[in-house]
Structure 1
Amino acid sequence: MTGNLDSTDWAILGELQRDGRLALTELGRRVNLSASAVTERVKRLESDGVITGYRADVDLGKLGYAVLAVVRLKYPGNRHEPLHALLAERGEVLECLRTTGEDCYTLKVAATSMAHLEKVVNDLTAFGSTTTNIVYTETLPYRGPSLPTSAG
Structure 2
Amino acid sequence: MLDELDRRILEILAGNSRVSLKELAQEAGLSSPSAAERLRKLEERGVLDGFTISVNPARLGYPLQAIVRIRPMPGMLHIVERLIQETPEFIECDKVTGDDCFIAKMLVRDMAELDTILDRIAEKAQTNTSIVKSSPVKRRLPPLN
TM-score, length of structure 1 as denominator length: 0.87
2:96 is matched with 99
Aligned residues: 145
The Cα RMSD (Å) is: 1.6
Q: CA deviation at 1:136?
A: 0.7
Q: CA deviation at 1:80?
A: 4.0
Q: CA deviation at 1:79?
A: 6.2
Q: CA deviation at 1:64?
A: 0.3
Q: Any gaps of 5 or more consecutive residues in structure 1?
A: none
Contact 2:80 2:125 in 1 (8 A): no
Q: Any gaps of 5 or more consecutive residues in structure 2?
A: none
Consecutive aligned runs of 4 or more in structure 1 exceeding 6 Å deviation: none
Residue-by-residue CA offset, 1:20-56 (whole Å, 9 max, x unaligned)? 1011111111111111111111111112221111111
C-alpha distance in structure 2 between counterparts of 1:134 and 1:32, whole Å:
44
Instruction: Give the counterpart of 2:44 among 40, 43, 47.
Output: 47
Amino acid in structure 1 at the alignment position of 2:18: R
1:68 is matched with 65
Amino acid in structure 1 at the alignment position of 2:140: R
**Percentage identity across paired residues of the two chains:** 32
1:35 is matched with 32
C-alpha distance in structure 2 between counterparts of 1:36 and 1:77, whole Å:
56
Q: 1:39 to 1:72 in 2, by over 3 A?
A: same
Contact 1:72 1:103 in 2 (8 A): yes
Q: 1:77 to 1:144 in 2, by over 3 A?
A: farther
